[in-house]
Structure 1
């Protein structure tokens, strides 16, 4: 029997039951955002009134002010709850079947990564002569491709200088009060990252007298904007385009791809859960490299005549 309950009420119950404390706090906040959008767009939509038409209209209303990828994320959240609703007999049919995902034209985003000569100019401007500072933090992300919270969670104990690796098995929840250690984004994010010998030398000296189990870069409350603004000043000083700290992660991955490193290896190094994420994020670079490969293939085939 179909239950008389509003869609947004069911979705709220569902996310609290299945997602609260089962996903990272930042991920749960996205579900809460979906719920707020649902309340705003469909305040009177009952579960019993959910059809393919009413669901498509809901998606279209959301897509009117959001890009296609954002609409897709919204749809995935709703679809997950409705699949469970179908099994629990709240609805008779799956209203999300054959749903069409629309969205406004993708906005022009800021450049996400630096070219090799730009990164070199940035690294040349770093002050690595003294004690722990944000320059070392920027260097670490540029050399490893860590996420912001992963880099904050790094302790001296995570380095294995003898084997030239850095173990990532936690993050730092910088958004919560004074902060605390937190789990990684997903299971794939737990990884060992090989380090080059220069990075090994630099950090072996830096952490020599630091507590083994304390975050290297955390001293009180940490704000993402603080580091981004500092990086912006360094970019201006180096006379290169401005990127964010997360842009350093994109830079790291992009340079590896241009160097011929396989997508699988880049995905593992970044801690992506699958290669599809890597392929989607760096599609423009992969397509450019494929065009270069096609040119090489044609030249090779032509030389066989």
Structure 2
């Protein structure tokens, strides 16, 4: 049982996420769904299975032009990539996703995104502009 709870951790969430979760709870209350301790669950309060989540993610993926196979893990990968693209510190990312070894985070997740390329190009342009002005 300890392995099940080994990956549970607290994290900060944005006010937008808090508002969306409140809306979800209100939607459930309006439909008289059973309350449970789970953020996501069916009308009986039972959390979804991994198989059910993967089916949902695949259906959502089919609505996009992205050619990758969609599984729930793509959400984690995208989350980490967006944190890196936003310039979030590697140690913070590691803590947030439960990595103890930076190699896991850097080798698997922190590939260079197009947003990171643009940001690096802009930083270099600014740096060279300042150097040339001196």
| TM-score bracket for this pair, using the shorter chain length | 0.5 to 0.7
TM-score, L = length of structure 1: 0.33
How far apart are 1:284 and its partner, in Å? 2.4
For residues 199 and 302 of structure 1, the distance between their equivalents in structure 2, rounded to whole angstroms, comes to 39
How far apart are 1:282 and its partner, in Å? 2.2
For residues 228 and 193 of structure 1, the distance between their equivalents in structure 2, rounded to whole angstroms, comes to 23
How far apart are 1:203 and its partner, in Å? 1.1
Structure having the higher strand fraction is 1
TM-score, L = length of structure 2: 0.65
* SS of structure 1 residue aligned to 2:88: coil
Query: In the alignment, which residue of structure 1 is the partner of 2:17?
Result: 199
* Alpha-carbon spacing, 1:214–1:265, altered in 2? closer, same or farther (3 Å): closer
Query: In the alignment, which residue of structure 2 is the partner of 1:234?
Result: 60
* Alpha-carbon spacing, 1:196–1:298, altered in 2? closer, same or farther (3 Å): closer
Q: Highest Rg: 1 or 2?
A: 1
Unaligned runs of 5+ in 1: 1-20, 25-181
For residues 296 and 221 of structure 1, the distance between their equivalents in structure 2, rounded to whole angstroms, comes to 45
For residues 207 and 250 of structure 1, the distance between their equivalents in structure 2, rounded to whole angstroms, comes to 27
Query: In the alignment, which residue of structure 2 is the partner of 1:52?
Result: none
- Number of residue pairs aligned between Structure 1 and Structure 2: 122
Matched-pair contact (CA < 8 Å) for 1:207–1:216: no
Q: CA RMSD in A?
A: 3.5
Task: After TM superposition, list the pairs within 5 Å mapping 1:80-95 onto structure 2.
Answer: none
For residues 215 and 304 of structure 1, the distance between their equivalents in structure 2, rounded to whole angstroms, comes to 52
* Alpha-carbon spacing, 1:224–1:192, altered in 2? closer, same or farther (3 Å): closer
Query: In the alignment, which residue of structure 2 is the partner of 1:273?
Result: 100
Query: In the alignment, which residue of structure 2 is the partner of 1:100?
Result: none
Structure having the higher helix fraction is 2
| Deviation sequence 1:230-258 (CA, Å, 0-9, x none) | 22122212443342111011011111211
Task: After TM superposition, list the pairs within 5 Å mapping 1:85-234 onto structure 2.
Answer: 182-185=4-7, 190-207=8-25, 209=29, 210-213=34-37, 216-217=40-41, 222-234=48-60
Report the more deviating stretch, 216-225 or 277-286: 216-225
